Amino acid sequence: MSSPAAVPATSASIRSGIAAVDRYLETGYETVPGMSSRFAAAICCGLLRMQTQMGVTGPIAEIGPFEGRFFIALAHALAPGEKALGIDLFDWPNPEVVDRFEANCARHGIPADRRITWKADSRRMAPAELLAKLDGRHPRFVHIDGEHSRAALTRDLELATAVLAPEGVIVLDDMLHPGYPTLMVAVHEYLGRHPEMCVLCVIDRETVVAATKFVLCRRDWFKRYEEKLLEAYKDNVWPLGADFEPHWCLVLSLDTRLAEIV
């Protein structure tokens, strides 16, 4: 008789290891409108913690923070003196969204001197403009959650790559989402243009809404990050990994079961 399958974990059991982040995930995350995965937020903030431990410093940037759900979590993970930059058109579903973004940040403990709110179009932005907003400092973490089209993601990826610190990571939202199938085309074309970059890990979806994220880094940082992720989230590693032909990377998931054949 086969043993019963393990019950998948819930996102509430996953921690970043940063007290301020985990407190926000526990008590505030779901109160801020948005679609970002709580599981992915914990992993990404855990990654920011690992960067700090490795001596990687610098600001973070998010393209498309909406009302701030994911942005607030990232900002809580910053080290003293670092800032979080939110770039958005702030025009959907109405112009007042920027006011709600600011209010949510303040309500959940991100003061004005730790954040930069920039109402701008990332698709038409020069790298020098973005760096000027960060006083010339290269971000160590860029989260892309802007317009979900192949062309827009292509432009946002090129912008992020141009400004990213050498040891930094880029996180892509809504990968493998059934509503946005061409985003994967943009990613594969990007990897072909940038052989120095690779997928560090896939953060599996929680639901069709809280969809999969890809984490990218430079190849010479891959093993260092992989080792840290394996140590911190060993219970969330899906055994088969992801095949990017021929590159393989981690898949982090709440459900690490394999299909039962018999």
Q: List, for residues 47-99, the tens digit of each pLDDT value.
A: 999 999 999 999 999 999 999 999 999 999 999 999 999 999 999 999 999 99
Specify if 48 maps to a domain: yes
* Pick from 36, 79, 40: nearest CA to 56: 79
Specify if 27 maps to a domain: yes
Confidence bin at 44 (pLDDT 50/70/90)? very high
Residue 3 clears pLDDT 50, i.e. is over it: no
Note down the domain range covering 34: 11-252
Confidence bin at 116 (pLDDT 50/70/90)? very high
CA angle 221/226/227 to nearest 5° reads: 105
Taking only the tens place, the pLDDT of each residue in 5-34 is: 566 788 989 999 999 999 999 999 999 999
CA pair distance 39, 22, nearest whole angstrom? 11
Specify if 257 maps to a domain: no
Per-residue model confidence (pLDDT) at position 9: 81
Specify if 260 maps to a domain: no
Cα dist from 106 to 100, 116, 138, 205, whole Å? 10, 12, 25, 28
Strands 141-144 and 169-175: parallel
Which parts of the chain fold into alpha helices (H)? 19-27, 38-53, 69-76, 97-107, 127-133, 150-163, 183-193, 222-232
Specify if 262 maps to a domain: no
User: What CATH number is attached to the domain comprising 225?
Assistant: 3.40.50.150
Specify if 127 maps to a domain: yes
Per-residue model confidence (pLDDT) at position 6: 67
Specify if 261 maps to a domain: no
Count of CB atoms situated within 10 Å of the CB of 46: 23
Specify if 259 maps to a domain: no
Q: How many domains does the chain have?
A: 1
Taking only the tens place, the pLDDT of each residue in 149-180 is: 999 999 999 999 999 999 999 999 999 999 99
Q: Give yes or no for a contact between 144 and 171, defined as CB atoms under 8 angstroms apart.
A: yes
DSSP code of residue 84: E
